[in-house]
Amino acid sequence: MSRAAALPRCRRGPQWRWNSTLHYNGWFPPGQEIRLSLEQDLLEQRLKRIGDLKALGFRPYGARFDFTHTIPQILSEYGSKTSDQLAPRVDVRVCGRIQTLRRMGKAGFAHLAQNGERLQIYVKKDAVSGRDFALYELLDLGDIIGAEGYLFRTRTGELTVHVERLEHLAKTLLSMPEKWHGLEDVEMRYRQRYLDLIANPEVRRVFETRGRIISSLRRQLEQRGFLEVETPMMQPLYGGAAARPFITHHNTLDVDLYLRIAPELYLKRLVVGGLERVYEINRNFRNEGISTQHNPEFTMLEFYQAYTDYRGLMDLSEELLRQTALDAAGTTVAEFEGHRIDFAGVRRLSLREAVIEYWKDGPRPSMEQLADAEWLKWRSTKGTPGEAVLDLFERYAEAELIQPTIIYDYPVETSPLSKSKPDEPGYVERFEIYAAGMEIGNAYTELNDPQEQRRRFEMQLRMREKGDEEAHQMDEDFLRALCYGMPPTSGEGIGIDRLAMILTGSRSIRDVILFPLLRPEEAIGLAERLRSLDAV
RNA sequence: GGGCCGGUAGCUCAGGCGGUAGAGCAUCUGCCUUUUAAGCAGAGGGUCGCGGGUUCGAGUCCCGCCCGGCUCACCA
């Protein structure tokens, strides 16, 4: 059993029947005592408590609650006020989830959590009605309640609500993670992210930062006149990247479709149609391995700007990254795996310069050697000189690119959609952005000559025939669009998940994706147990 | 897919060379009207991931499998 199953699995078979009492039906030796699991006991207790709440006239799953402040608002408004400054009394109505509970007989304290912050409340028997005090005595860690009262400071100085009325808003039936260590089990954190969010405040911060990254990019692109669009996720032909796709099926049309590996070819069709600055922030799906840097579905920003080239996008990228870091993290410097990664500026060097600079295998090669097919053959198993140079880059340089770096000018063989350099047909006007040793962006001057695009597709088809499963397919509809004329254009993709990793200091991509793909969990058996307790 | 590490109470974790499973938090009972990892006294709670094997005896040793993490390969 995986540790993620928060509940012990239901025991199946005729000898067991979950109920308020355990029924013995002849499968166990007579007289043998069989104990209920704790979770079962707990469920039963909590469901009984719901009955008690109802008897007091409370709704166990509550109703609308009109609060005067959120907890963060109270903390920012009154967090630094002294006792004297809280007089005359400040009345508040607040709500949140109970995160700590300290009962002391006829009084007690609790912390309510809301929006990632917590506020203490104090419930004293003399200060509330008998009904509300009875409710207080029925509260469990994790319940969601509303409280009305006035602010004061306790003897130890903590800002606290002196409660005069309580409201019950939602009951928790299962026990909360441990209060001191939080939820540590990685698998459970991913599968039951809501528990992770409840128990580990820093997780909320990560996803708040991720949200700010995306809104910052949207705002910056919109300020520059880019239009946000959405293009198909289900595509009859997949393209725009080198990757294996997921396949799905549409019943009525009776066609197989691919989940997109990139939106590129559709966005360029839009540029043909006159949407000169477009962008899309959305999911791509690649049927490849899973690692700390790869999730099968991941979020990309992809944008296209007509009438510029890859040099123009280098400048734009540098500005976008700097401002995104500032908006998301408040500083251009990110702490990642012991490195201080500074997005204030982006270094630029060509792919071949990077191979030379980071060469680790004897004397550094020369530019001439990197252009020499014979020389390359001895140093890489790849089939073409261009692929060999890229191979050398990935082996020697990629992991060394810790500070944000633009690597430019790529071999044509590995870039079927990019425009060639006018003076060097074996290379294309393409760059990738690296940081923390990861590729976080990829951009190029778009190939807009349909004849050349046709030849590139045919080159890819030949690679595919040689067994390269990821080589690009022929896309005639896209070729047709280019035949109507696409302005000189440059486009770029930025991996949002990886950028979020760097800006939040997360070592695994799963820590910046709320629900990363995991193998499905086995049956939990909760419905059956709830059913067995339904009459309680 | 390969290598390494892990899975023990609801949660966080101990369990030396194989000898009938422990702690803290949480839960339950009692006490406690400014506590804060509240406290005090007591109680309950375990198919030790699953299945085989070795053994008089397995949480512990061996084999297979499941789930997860890291890493390599692939990929962005």
What is the average pLDDT across A118-123? 98
Q: What is the DSSP letter of A96?
A: E
d(CA A328, CA A89): 38
Average of per-residue pLDDT across A147-156: 97
Give pLDDT, residue A185. Answer: 94
For chain A residues 228-247, those near strand B by a CB cutoff of 7 A are 241-243
Residue A179 CB lies within 7 Å of the nucleic strand B: yes
Label residues A465-492 b or e (16+ Cβ within 10 Å = b).
Answer: eeeeeebbeebeebeebbeeebeebbbb
- Return the residue matching tokens 């059913």: A531
Read off the pLDDT of each residue in A117-138 and give the average, rounded to a whole number: 97
Q: In this structure, how many other beta carbons lie within 10 angstroms of the beta carbon of residue A286?
A: 22
- Estimate in Å the CA A193 to C1' B30 gap, whole number: 38
pLDDT value of position A383: 80
Residue A528 pLDDT grade (very low, low, confident, very high; cuts 50, 70, 90): confident
Strands (E), A46-140: 91-103, 107-114, 117-124
* pLDDT tens figures, A27-44: 333 333 344 566 778 899
- Percentage above 70 pLDDT, chain A: 93
Percentage, residues of chain A above pLDDT 90: 80
The answer to whether strand B lies under 7 Å from the CB of residue A100 is yes
Which nucleotide is nearest, taking the CA of residue A9 and each C1'? Answer: B47
Q: What are phi and psi of A455, to 5 degrees?
A: -65, -40
Q: A325-353: string of b/e by CB count within 10 Å (b at 16+)?
A: bebbbeebebebeebebbbeebeebbbbb
CA pair distance A347, A357, nearest whole angstrom: 13
**In Å, what is the separation between the CA of A466 and the C1' of B62?**
46
pLDDT above 50: residue A24: no
Nucleotide nearest to A398 (CA to C1'): B76
- A window 432-461: Cβ near strand B (< 7 A): 432, 438-439, 442
Q: What is the pLDDT of residue A361?
A: 82
Look over chain A and give the mean of its residue pLDDT values, rounded to a whole number: 90
| Residue A37, CB, strand B, below 7 Å | yes
Distance A471 CA to B17 C1' (A): 59
Residues 342-361 of A with CB under 7 A from strand B: none
A333 CA vs B24 C1’ separation (Å): 39
Strand B close to A38 by CB, under 7 A: yes
> Does the CB of A89 sit below 7 A from strand B?
no
pLDDT tens-digit profile of A319-348? Answer: 999 999 999 999 999 999 989 999 999 999
pLDDT at A34: 42
Tell whether the model's pLDDT for residue A176 goes beyond 60: yes
Q: Which residue is nearest to nucleotide B71 (CA to C1')?
A: A291
- What value of ipTM does the predicted structure carry? 0.92
- The pLDDT-based confidence of A535 (bands split at 50, 70, 90) is low
**Residue with CA nearest B48 C1'?**
A1
Using the structure, give the distance in angstroms from the CA atom of A73 to the C1' atom of B27, rounded to a whole number.
34
Does the C-beta of A416 come within 7 A of strand B?
Answer: no
Q: What is the pTM of this model?
A: 0.90
Distances (CA, A) of A155 to A69, A158, A308: 24, 8, 66
CA pair distance A319, A217, nearest whole angstrom: 11
User: By three-state DSSP, how is residue A429 classified?
Assistant: strand
**CA-CA-CA-CA dihedral for A303, A306, A310, A311, to nearest 10:** -120
| C-alpha A155 chain-centroid distance | 42
Among A10-14, A100-104, A321-325, the minimum mean pLDDT is found in A10-14
Strand B reaches within 7 A of the A250 CB: no
pLDDT tens column, A268-283: 999 999 999 999 999 9
Does at least one atom of strand B sit less than 7 Å from the CB of A523?
no
Q: How confident is the model at residue A285 (pLDDT cuts 50, 70, 90)?
A: very high
CB A445 within 8 A of CB A490: yes
A41 CA, B43 C1': separation in Å? 14
- pLDDT per residue over A221-251, tens digit each? 999 999 999 999 999 999 999 898 999 999 9
Nucleotide nearest to A177 (CA to C1'): B11
Token pair for A516:
């990363």
Confidence bin at A463 (pLDDT 50/70/90): confident
The CA–C1' separation of A58 and B19, in angstroms, is 55
Q: Above 90 in pLDDT, residue A17?
A: no
Going by the DSSP 8-state scheme, the letter that residue A520 receives in this structure is P
| Closest nucleotide to the alpha carbon of A37, via C1' | B45
In sequence order, the 6+-apart residues with CB closer than 8 A to the CB of A192 are A4, A6
What pLDDT sits at residue A36?
52
Strand B-proximal residues of A, range 55-74, CB below 7 A, are: none
Protein footprint on strand B: which nucleotides are under 7 Å from a CB? Answer: 1, 6-13, 24-28, 31-39, 44-47, 49-50, 66-76
Instruction: Using the predicted structure, report yes or no on whether residue A353 has a pLDDT greater than 50.
Output: yes
Tell me the CA–C1' distance in angstroms for A209 and B12.
28
Per-residue CB contacts under 7 A with strand B, chain A residues 115-174: 120, 122, 124-126, 140-141, 152, 154-158, 160, 162, 174
Query: Given this model, what pLDDT does residue A38 score?
Result: 66
| Closest residue (CA to C1') to nucleotide B47 in the complex | A11
Strands (DSSP E) found in A115-191: 117-124, 144-153, 159-170
